[in-house]
A and B are shown apart, each in its own frame.
Chain A
């Protein structure tokens, strides 16, 4: 009897048993597996966010952040930085006339000198930046307006620049090298720094113009067409210079073939578009010569500027910045302050939570466990 009913059951389990499902087999129970995963019983950590439980986190964060912040702040404060605006907006500014007259199609260079005094000596390597304000290098169409293949020395891209370069792609059917708006608006002021001796003589501060670009940019991303030999030959004839440029790309630094053409470091630095409308770009490096004398001793200096770059039309500013750097980069107290602030807030909130915890949380717990 047992067996028979069992058979009946088996048969019923396979109503389509004869239909090619592969004969009647043993009825497999459809009972789900009792695994932790399938039964949703995976071992789990269940943090419950209450004042009592998160309290340590706040204090720990506070205690860690505040020292870090202080450290950062001190580091930042140890960095020496000097900044001078040479735009020439004011009448009494030495570059006022240059600023008024400068335009893209000016061929005659205008020069002006700005005198300044360094109160403190700059001990380590000094980085010389030029800074621009109100210059939207991050404008959508501006950012796109380049051809990386061309800059990488690609022959075909050289002849037929990317459409992204429009409208700085070709002039009269001749391709522009380098094409695009970024290259076209290359910063072309020349800055020279002179130290005024105590006896009044001008000593040129030696400025190193190599090593200011990313190594990968200089050696991988940017390449001259046909190698570095005979750039003139490589560029001449078939190409035209960008409309705003005074000289063609192969004359950017005629003195050094390793710094000429597309791999000119000033050009490379410019091509790395800035993130924000106020930015600085590395211009030169002043190497520390000896361990005894500071790189830039305190005293009077003169900055000679060949003023080519017009910024007044868009209300821009030009600056020259001298700065030493630390492990965390240039002078910026913000991060230190931020750490201190967040740390303090955390600490404060921790105290608040502590109060809450002692006032309310204890009762809660005792109520939860009545026995």
Chain B
């Protein structure tokens, strides 16, 4: 079993497929899920009236009450029926309910308030009805959207409710077809193969002779392996078909709850006998019946009370960082609004005041005819101004953002690069409103297994009885596979031509294409990118070919294991001996212990699991029958062994699975006077063997976790194969011995606390009761019988431990196998208590857990296995690239330290050249571990001189184990832990529990105030995924829990690169720019009216027609910004991926900084000044009337706003042109129509023929030309200067885009982009390139912000010496440049060495010209970061510093050990040319 905390692991990749099907919008499950939350509140009411005091649910058969009048006294009548209604609204309730929901949004309330304010005559600014228009528009758009969604739900509900199922009818005495919605609790329903369960059903009968029913739970948890469900025990013995009419038991069970993995209750028969009910008896709604011809059950929960329905929560709502920032600025807008209003109000008061009592003719009395005092008038005006200026708070912003985000999600969905052909799955965006967060990530927390690795386990090595079998042949073959793969890739890449991917509609055709491609003409395009793409597509195609040549959707390695010849011999030897002994009736105990260990080891591998056997070449249900026939054939013999003395043999061909009956059997056996000889007199049937040979290739194992499958396949390679599994019996085929059936007494399933699983079987050869345990080495080793029993055992344990360490060092996952033989008495004793535990209703889990603990003691170690978990494609490249992007990557894994470290090396997370800091502590003395680090930051902070004190060790990797992590996460230490951790380049947390994972994420997120992303694939990552700002689930091998909890679901880890670097960047920059533009636009428009107040006595008058005023935002200027917000690409995807440094842009929120809001505001005010005063002076002292003057201003504002957008638009597609043209055309069309429509309407402006007249006025056109130019001049000039003098990295990226493709590719591959400002002076640390005295190879600048976590602590001078080991005295040369921010840069200048091998010459930095262009200038990321520290490492590159806390608490708590030599692999050695280049590349400098 997995040594990981997977609650309910799944296995097959096909799970994905079905899950995605399920995720289709119109899919019924998805639809029905959505509103379970709204159905929930209703439930308690229902329940409480049904059983006021009872905590359980009692279910009677409905048949008993059918005769009575419509079931008046039917006790089930209170339970929810099976009709589901997931809609939120009814026809009547729609309007009030929807409005109520919409008014939960503050903005809506605000706008309605303003609209209503307009109805007050004293303060009204517009026609009240008109002022309602925008609010009504926004509300109705949302309402229509809601209505449509609800209608879809209604339709899918209807479809579901009208599905058919067979329900037993008393009247007709047979099963009749009924709609799902007519099913009630207590009904008997009959299910046929491949039917979907309409409700939660208690299985009472199955056509299967083993009384099993197989279900597929893909729609619930995404797992597609078949699960077995058992008929309720009391109905087990029915030999004839189940007759509902004879049923008269009562079921007591839990109230409906949402725990899929729990069902407790009991059934009370007429006789008064009680039988416990388990989750194994319950078929859940939504599952599909497989492999079973027919099943009958009674409905327990129906409709909304089913577990499936209760389990679905609504979509999650998260608020993105950008939105939070935006809200701050919305708040500022409110402040500005209030200030403007106040200003106007005071102005109006003063204006009124100057006239004194002499009321001028134009100062009209209030409608009531009363004279208002200046103060009252000012107060009223304040409210009026709020109405007039309401546009400042952008009502359409919220709607626009939602629209843009939906479009962004759509585009992310559509990205071909994020589509996994192998699983036919897309990236899924499950959270619609945090797309832009993807562009701002700073920390990535990744799971290891299944995320970085494939989670496809390959058996690599094993140790049996202390002897290691290295499986060299296997390893060689694996290596060959890889080579072959790469060769194939090579040869396809020569083909050059890329098969059109979209022509590949199915995998079969993919194969065809591939073949034709390899034989196709060898045209060379010369384009490397194309070749690269061809490779990647070839990889894709190959992987799907594999899928087909290989029946289980797994790579061949998983199944084909070349056995180690020695071990194979041994197994053969052993089994032939056993065979021999069996024939000669010798007791098995005479077998040499190492041989028996060997055979036990393989038996354990084979049976100690939950693997289900099936053969894939037949439809599932048929296949099962044949399998059963086979198993029956030999099960008869086994039953003869075990049940010989049993009188119950007639009841079933099989031995009873019930532990209870086992107990009785035990007693009987004992009373019979001991056991007979264990050997079956019947020799194993050789016809079974023959059939096995045929079937051999066809047997397929479906395991819950890939480890299990790998082990079973491994055992099969040693001819020790699992051929059948029934709930009570496992059949194993052994060489020479043939098929053996093990009576399966108990299975103690895997759980993450125990980290092991056990099976209790009766060995068919020895007839001993044997416990086989398989689990994590750390746990098993503790449970091994104290080795004082025998020297041999001691040796085995010792050796095994040795090998285990070796395995772990190789990055293999280790499992230990152990066994234990129980005497009859021991077993009986244990069984007694176990049964008690099983039947307990209260605290059953705990009792079972304790029971398992009691059993799994004093084990005898058999051996250990090493399983390889291969890295996913492209993981090292992705990590390298993400790291270049300035992302900190932490790996949090449950695996053991050695394995984790090795995987980390493999995926380049840890660099062999960097120092590894390992923290393993046994107590809270961890403080001491951190102590040496305390001083580095403090000293560097305190020393203001350039003669900086020693720095933190450069390129540090931190490895911390779970136990230490627990201390580190303690309140008192977390700051220190963080300080250390953030100064490390990579952090690896091993052996961490799911809770710890989430705590780490929470800690980093809250303390460092950074954006965190958690990525994982298993149930153990769920909490971490939920805690992080963005949770990403890998829809991989381990079921769907992670995906269900995630915001984004990826098919592969490597897609994270494009998701973050490209889509994240785009989403962020698009949205940031759009929001800024929105603020600008509204401020600019409102300011126009504000300036006018100076010329209308601050009376709240507007020269802009109220129609324009209200629809300006909503219609005239809305489309271009939406198009730009959706489609604008600042940098092309290719450049973004090749220059991950550009991602820093989003991390530092450079598109939208707080000051930018104010800059935009100032620009808006300037532009509005232009748009106001140019027409003002042009028409000063003329006979222009108010609205004829206001219309040009509106037009000018529109032009200016659109052109402003034009300046900010980076890519102009035809959509942009069209939208702008459309906007202008729309404005003029509307204006012309509006102005021609009604001569007497639209008071007060009454703009009849205004626009028409203006269009005849040459002055109008002259204004239209000059005003936008004058208004946009500063911005345009600024942008031009910025583009030349201090271009942002993004802009350089954009310039790269413009270059011809070849040139660009050359530059990109060299990563030699000049991101520099010509104005910036030479950076002070240029001197670094002169190399420090000891000749440091590379200079990596680490940035450490001086934050509160780094405190100056004095009196730690004694630590200085230790530190000098870590850092070194050379830093004197270094100049601290506090003003310069640095991007963590990578050594690897070639991120894609694998894909695009470069000639060595290209790596050389040839000339000064090139080195000059290596300068990188990046804008200061954050001014608040007060200090930036550079550091130089002095240790030899491969040093690893081991910090171990000695248990005795010795004063020297830090021990340094150099074990670098063996770590340094030749291929990691830095090429000399490389080095020089790095030096040059490191000349990062920045200009403030």
Q: In chain B, what residue has the closest Cβ to A7?
A: B619
**B1284 to A216, Cβ gap below 8 A?**
no
Q: In chain B, what residue has the closest Cβ to A350?
A: B1277
User: Shortest Cβ distance from A185 into chain B, in angstroms?
Assistant: 4
**B1185 to A274, Cβ gap below 8 A?**
yes
Q: Which of B1115-1143 contact A (CB under 8 A)?
A: 1127, 1129, 1133
Assuming A166-B369, A334-B1177, is B1273 touching A345 (CB within 8 A)?
yes
Assuming A143-B1101, A332-B1178, is B1096 touching A280 (CB within 8 A)?
no
Please tell me if B1190 contacts chain A, counting CB pairs below 8 Å. Answer: yes
* A282 CA / B1266 CA spacing, docked (Å): 28
Please tell me if A119 contacts chain B, counting CB pairs below 8 Å. Answer: no
Please tell me if A247 contacts chain B, counting CB pairs below 8 Å. Answer: no
Assuming A136-B1096, A140-B1099, is B218 touching A15 (CB within 8 A)?
yes
For A26, list chain B residues within 8 Å (CB): 506
Give which listed residue, A27, A32, A137, A149, contacts B416 with CB less than 8 A. Answer: A32
For A345, list chain B residues within 8 Å (CB): 1273
For B365, list chain A residues within 8 Å (CB): 166-167
* A16 CA / B1183 CA spacing, docked (Å): 75
* Chain B interface bracket (under 10, 10 to 19, 20 to 34, 35 or more): 35 or more
* A273 CA / B1213 CA spacing, docked (Å): 44
For B1409, list chain A residues within 8 Å (CB): 367, 370
**B1281 to A370, Cβ gap below 8 A?**
no
For B1273, list chain A residues within 8 Å (CB): 342, 345-346, 349
Q: Which of B1253-1303 contact A (CB under 8 A)?
A: 1253, 1257-1259, 1262-1263, 1266, 1269-1270, 1273, 1276-1277, 1279-1285, 1287, 1291-1292, 1294-1299, 1303
Q: In chain B, what residue has the closest Cβ to A46?
A: B1211
Q: Which of B1407-1424 contact A (CB under 8 A)?
A: 1409-1410, 1412-1413
For A139, list chain B residues within 8 Å (CB): 362-364, 1096-1097, 1099, 1101
**A72 to B1262, Cβ gap below 8 A?**
yes
Please tell me if A257 contacts chain B, counting CB pairs below 8 Å. Answer: no
**A12 to B14, Cβ gap below 8 A?**
yes
For A72, list chain B residues within 8 Å (CB): 1262
For B151, list chain A residues within 8 Å (CB): none
**B1277 to A349, Cβ gap below 8 A?**
yes
Please tell me if B915 contacts chain A, counting CB pairs below 8 Å. Answer: no
**A369 to B1303, Cβ gap below 8 A?**
yes
Please tell me if A9 contacts chain B, counting CB pairs below 8 Å. Answer: yes
Among A197-205, A291-299, A357-365, the one that faces the other chain is A357-365
Give which listed residue, B288, B384, B1284, contacts A357 with CB less than 8 A. Answer: B1284
**B362 to A135, Cβ gap below 8 A?**
yes
**A281 to B1183, Cβ gap below 8 A?**
yes
For B1306, list chain A residues within 8 Å (CB): 371
**A244 to B361, Cβ gap below 8 A?**
yes
User: Shortest Cβ distance from A321 into chain B, in angstroms?
Assistant: 9
For B69, list chain A residues within 8 Å (CB): none
Q: Which of B1160-1197 contact A (CB under 8 A)?
A: 1174, 1176-1186, 1188-1190
**A13 to B361, Cβ gap below 8 A?**
no
* Contact flags A135-163 to B (C-beta < 8 A → 1, else 0): 11111111111111101101000000011
**A146 to B1211, Cβ gap below 8 A?**
no
Assuming A18-B288, A42-B1215, A338-B1266, is B1182 touching A329 (CB within 8 A)?
yes
Assuming A44-B1212, A49-B1280, A275-B1189, is B1299 touching A15 (CB within 8 A)?
no
For B1101, list chain A residues within 8 Å (CB): 138-140, 143
User: Shortest Cβ distance from A158 into chain B, in angstroms?
Assistant: 12
User: Shortest Cβ distance from A139 into chain B, in angstroms?
Assistant: 5
Please tell me if A276 contacts chain B, counting CB pairs below 8 Å. Answer: yes
Please tell me if A233 contacts chain B, counting CB pairs below 8 Å. Answer: no
Please tell me if B227 contacts chain A, counting CB pairs below 8 Å. Answer: no
For A88, list chain B residues within 8 Å (CB): none
**B1291 to A48, Cβ gap below 8 A?**
yes
Q: In chain A, what residue has the closest Cβ to B426?
A: A30
**B1178 to A334, Cβ gap below 8 A?**
yes
**B1127 to A42, Cβ gap below 8 A?**
yes
Please tell me if A313 contacts chain B, counting CB pairs below 8 Å. Answer: yes
For A135, list chain B residues within 8 Å (CB): 360, 362
For A346, list chain B residues within 8 Å (CB): 1269, 1273
* A282 CA / B1412 CA spacing, docked (Å): 70
For A217, list chain B residues within 8 Å (CB): 1248
Please tell me if A39 contacts chain B, counting CB pairs below 8 Å. Answer: yes
Assuming A16-B28, A49-B1283, A334-B1178, is B1211 touching A44 (CB within 8 A)?
yes
Q: Which of A292-315 contact B (CB under 8 A)?
A: 313-314
Q: Which of A184-238 contact B (CB under 8 A)?
A: 184-185, 214, 216-217, 220-221
* Contact flags A50-76 to B (C-beta < 8 A → 1, else 0): 111111011001000100100010000
Which of A17, A276, A279 counts the most chain B CB atoms within 10 A?
A: A276
* Contact flags B408-422 to A (C-beta < 8 A → 1, else 0): 000101111001010
Q: Which of B665-711 contact A (CB under 8 A)?
A: none
* Contact flags B181-214 to A (C-beta < 8 A → 1, else 0): 0000000000000111000000000000000000
**B364 to A181, Cβ gap below 8 A?**
yes
* A314 CA / B1189 CA spacing, docked (Å): 24
Please tell me if A114 contacts chain B, counting CB pairs below 8 Å. Answer: no
**A20 to B163, Cβ gap below 8 A?**
yes
Please tell me if A121 contacts chain B, counting CB pairs below 8 Å. Answer: no
User: Shortest Cβ distance from B304 into chain A, in angstroms?
Assistant: 19
**B548 to A29, Cβ gap below 8 A?**
no
Q: Which of B1234-1250 contact A (CB under 8 A)?
A: 1239-1241, 1243-1244, 1246, 1248-1249
Q: In chain A, what residue has the closest Cβ to B1092?
A: A138
For A4, list chain B residues within 8 Å (CB): 551, 616-618
For B106, list chain A residues within 8 Å (CB): none
Please tell me if A173 contacts chain B, counting CB pairs below 8 Å. Answer: no
Please tell me if A5 contacts chain B, counting CB pairs below 8 Å. Answer: yes
* A368 CA / B1184 CA spacing, docked (Å): 55
For B1239, list chain A residues within 8 Å (CB): 148, 152, 216, 220-221
User: Shortest Cβ distance from B293 into chain A, in angstroms?
Assistant: 14
Please tell me if B1214 contacts chain A, counting CB pairs below 8 Å. Answer: yes
**B1259 to A279, Cβ gap below 8 A?**
no
Q: Which of B479-514 contact A (CB under 8 A)?
A: 500-502, 504-508
For A273, list chain B residues within 8 Å (CB): 1185-1186
* A26 CA / B424 CA spacing, docked (Å): 14
**B1413 to A19, Cβ gap below 8 A?**
no
**A361 to B1284, Cβ gap below 8 A?**
yes
Please tell me if B125 contacts chain A, counting CB pairs below 8 Å. Answer: yes
For A136, list chain B residues within 8 Å (CB): 360, 362-363, 1096-1097, 1099
Please tell me if B1307 contacts chain A, counting CB pairs below 8 Å. Answer: yes
Q: In chain B, what residue has the closest Cβ to A353?
A: B1280
For B1314, list chain A residues within 8 Å (CB): 364, 367-368
**A184 to B361, Cβ gap below 8 A?**
yes
For A166, list chain B residues within 8 Å (CB): 365, 367-369
* A201 CA / B133 CA spacing, docked (Å): 65
**B1186 to A342, Cβ gap below 8 A?**
no
* A244 CA / B838 CA spacing, docked (Å): 101
Give which listed residue, A39, A332, A338, A367, contacts B1270 with CB less than 8 A. Answer: A338
**A142 to B411, Cβ gap below 8 A?**
no
**B1246 to A40, Cβ gap below 8 A?**
no
Of all A-B residue pairs in the complex, the 9 with the closest CB atoms, nearest first, are A314-B360, A50-B1283, A275-B1189, A140-B1101, A44-B1211, A167-B369, A185-B361, A141-B364, A15-B18
A52-B1284, A139-B1096 known; 18 other A-B pairs, CB under 8 Å?
A: A4-B616, A5-B548, A7-B619, A15-B219, A42-B1214, A44-B1129, A50-B1287, A65-B1269, A138-B1095, A138-B1101, A143-B1186, A164-B1243, A167-B368, A214-B1249, A275-B1185, A339-B1262, A360-B1285, A364-B1284
Q: List 21 A-B contacts (CB under 8 A).
A: A15-B18, A20-B163, A31-B504, A32-B426, A54-B1276, A54-B1279, A136-B1096, A138-B1186, A139-B1101, A167-B369, A184-B361, A221-B1246, A275-B1103, A279-B1182, A327-B1258, A334-B1178, A335-B1262, A338-B1178, A342-B1270, A342-B1273, A367-B1413
